[in-house]
Structure 1
Amino acid sequence: MVQVAGVVRAMDTLKASVRRTAFLVLAILLVSTLFYGSCTARVLPNQWGVEQRKFGLKTGVADTAYGPGLYFVGPGVTMHTFPREIHVLEASYDREEALRKGGSSLANSVNAYFDHRSRLLGTDTHRIIDALNVQTSDGYAVTADVTLLYSIEDPVRVARDFGWGSLYVDSFAINTFRNGVLTTIGKLNAESFYDEAVRIKAIEETETLLRQRFAARGFKVDKLLLRNYRYVEAYEKSLEAKKVAVQLTEKNRKEGLVNEEKAKLKQIESKGNAAITIAESEVNARIAKVRAEADLYSSQGRARADKEVNVAAAEAKRLKAEALTTSGGRYVVALETSKMFDNIEGAVMSPEQYISFVRSAWALIGVSPGAATAVAPVAGDKK
């Protein structure tokens, strides 16, 4: 096989060049990685960043608090982070209460639940301590389940006062929280916990006190919650008996007031019924009076009418008698007499007999027989 002169040497040169280039690239990557790891710092969206300088003219904690982002830090500078979200500090007896109610059969499930809850909430921003044993002003003990919600407002101040990590929780937050609650709520007596207005006012005073103390150290108190409370068993029994007695007394007093009001109501009802009876009697008397007056007026009217009718009838009789005594009155009497026989059937009296009877009647009353010719056709017409 024929080989061109210098090919082997050229290949060796190319391989050496590739090796140098690869080594240079790896060196650059290594230096870049070391530079990125030692000279940059990342602050997450839920964090504050605070610089600590170990070398230079000004060492210690820097005055600037950094928000989320990627920052360049020089040699001897460390970027420490603090959580930005709300911290939850619980003084609770939930686990103890759940274990007591669940018994030994559910103990493992209860512990598993609370352990899982603690892992989800995290240890940096969530801390559970024992419930607070509040000694009231009257000497009784009340176990209070209280929760404090707070956050870091000035991370530079927190770093200078308490250092890095979560040291501020153990060295400041827990002790200040416990002392503030015991100082203010401890002024209440045991029964005041049942009074909603007094209890809420005491919680507001405690929250104001804690807000002032936390703000002085770079924190912000968002809310203080009294979630639950319980008395010792002996006091609960005595308090229950006392409350029952007070409620019974109040019940009797209320019942007495109710009975008094019922008596007043009955008295008012009796007065009302009497007034109604009197009013009904007065109305009935007025109705009877009006009816009597109406009957009197009606009888008087009928009497006047009867009198006028009788007078008119007498006057008619008088006028009729006068009319009959005149010259034409006899004809009227004869005509009226003839009407008496209108009901006589032809089978009983013949026409001749009828005419003879009429003439005899006229003659009897003094009417001229010559007028009978005017009357006879009347009987014939009827037939």
Structure 2
Amino acid sequence: MMEEKDVKFASMPAGRRTRVKIPRLRLSGRTSLLIGVAALLVMTYNSFLQYVEPNEYGIKQVKLGANRGIQEKIYGPGLHFIIPVVQKMHFLPKDIQVLELTNFPRTASEYARQEKAAHIQTSDGFFVDVDVSVLYHIADPYKVFTKIGPGNLFEDNGVIPKTEPSLKETLGELTTEEFYNSPLRAAKAQAAREKLNEELEDKGIVVDYVLVRYFRYSDEIQKN
């Protein structure tokens, strides 16, 4: 029979914690220099350089100094030097923009700006909801920035407020029956495009197409 023996385990004194030694990483002078240069390049890139995408315009704003304000020079794709705090680069899209007026959002492109369908009264007094696609582009970013504003204001304060009134003026000349006449309807859409350009060209925006995609009369007319 095995004899029982008292086994004593050494315990750590109270109040003391195990210390884990972290090995020190020793870098050569050349490696430290390379890391320092890399960190300096990253800091310079983030602070002093702004990248303009291929589908963007860059517009520089000078906040301090004698030449304060929005600069007329437009910056193309690539890296451009700016002075932090003193200068700021703004961006506007260069590619075709799309405004979709529709009550059926799933039929519109996910990349388009979506607003409700144009609510138009025909010349004989009836109402029709019209789905319209407006394709346009920024032709003069300096004018857009100085006359409308930065960011997406070219949509909110530029194209959108002008679109439905132009459609009401041109498509509203049609009678209920004439709305079904495709060539006549297309001619009125073209007239709306011309009217929009009269309103927007001096602000740097050009409307390329106004396309009527779908229209729906009020329930009363649909029943008749």
Whether TM exceeds 0.5 here: the answer is yes
The equivalent position to 1:150 in structure 2, one of 130, 136, 157, is 136
**Of 146, 158, 167, the match for 1:172:** 158
What is the rounded CA distance, in whole Å, between the counterparts of 1:154 and 1:211 in structure 2? 13
User: Where does residue 195 of structure 1 map in the other structure?
Assistant: 181
Which residue does 1:80 correspond to in 2? 90
Separation in structure 2 between the aligned mates of residue 93 and residue 234 of structure 1, nearest angstrom = 18
Cα offset for 1:22?
A: 5.6
CA spacing shift, 1:190–1:17, aligned 2, 3 Å: closer
Matched pairs, number: 198
Letter of the 2:94 counterpart: R
**Aligned partners of 2:102 and 2:108 also within 8 Å:** no
Q: Does 1:43 align with 2:43?
A: no
Q: Superposed, which structure 2 residues align to 1:1-383 within 5 Å?
A: 18=28, 25-75=34-84, 76-95=86-105, 114=106, 118=110, 121=111, 126-238=112-224
Contact 2:119 2:129 in 1 (8 A): yes
Q: 1:195, CA displacement in angstroms?
A: 2.5
* Identical positions, percent: 31
Report which of the two structures shows the higher radius of gyration computed on alpha carbons: 1
Q: Distance in 2 between matches of 1:116 and 1:154?
A: 27
Give the letter for the 2:139 counterpart. E
Asked which structure has the greater RCO (Cα within 8 Å, sep 6+), the reply is: 2
Structure in which a larger fraction of residues adopt strand? 2
TM-score by length of 2: 0.79
CA contact (8 A) 2:61 2:87 kept: yes
Aligned residue for 1:190, secondary structure, equals coil
Cα distance in 1 for residues equivalent to 2:134 and 2:221: 28
CA distance 1:37–1:115, shift in 2 (3 Å): farther
| Counterpart Cα distance in 1 of 2:122 and 2:135 | 24
* Per-residue Cα deviation, 1:141-160 (whole angstroms, up to 9, x for no partner): 01111110001111111122
Q: Render the CA deviation track for 1:59-78: whole Å, top value 9, x for unaligned.
A: 12110111111112234222
Amino acid across the alignment from 2:192: T
TM-score (norm 1): 0.48
Gaps spanning 5+ residues in structure 2: where? 1-25
Kindly state the Cα deviation for residue 203 of structure 1 after the two structures are TM-superposed: 1.4
Q: Which runs of 5+ in 1 are unaligned?
A: 1-15, 96-113, 239-383
RMSD, aligned α-carbons: 2.4
- Secondary structure at the aligned position of 1:180 is classed as helix
